[in-house]
Amino acid sequence: MTVTDWIHAVAGFFILLSLAFGVEASPVFMSKYWLWFTAFVGANLLQFGFTKFCPMGSILKAFGIPECGSCCKE
């Protein structure tokens, strides 16, 4: 998996988790304030679309996750 794949996977997981914790109809509801975390992840995805900068991407690169797949190897 590449950095972009991981960003999408982690963002999707965080969105689903924070919705589960923030929606009152959920069996694991904690507080409506978890929806702010959903908004934060969404805002980061939006700004990534324009700036191509993502804090999670920087963290993943520091851990040695490749930026592109096997098709880019020379």
- Specify the pLDDT at position 67: 87
Residue 72 gets which letter from DSSP?
G
Q: Per-residue confidence of the chain (74 residues) as pLDDT tens digits?
A: 999 899 999 999 999 999 999 999 999 999 999 999 999 999 999 999 999 899 999 999 999 999 887 666 54
CB 11 within 8 A of CB 44: yes
Residue 4 per-residue DSSP state? H
Task: Give me the amino acid identity at 14.
Answer: F
Residue 52 burial (CB < 10 Å; 0-12/13-18/19+)?
exposed
Nearest alpha carbon to residue 14 among 34, 29, 30: 34
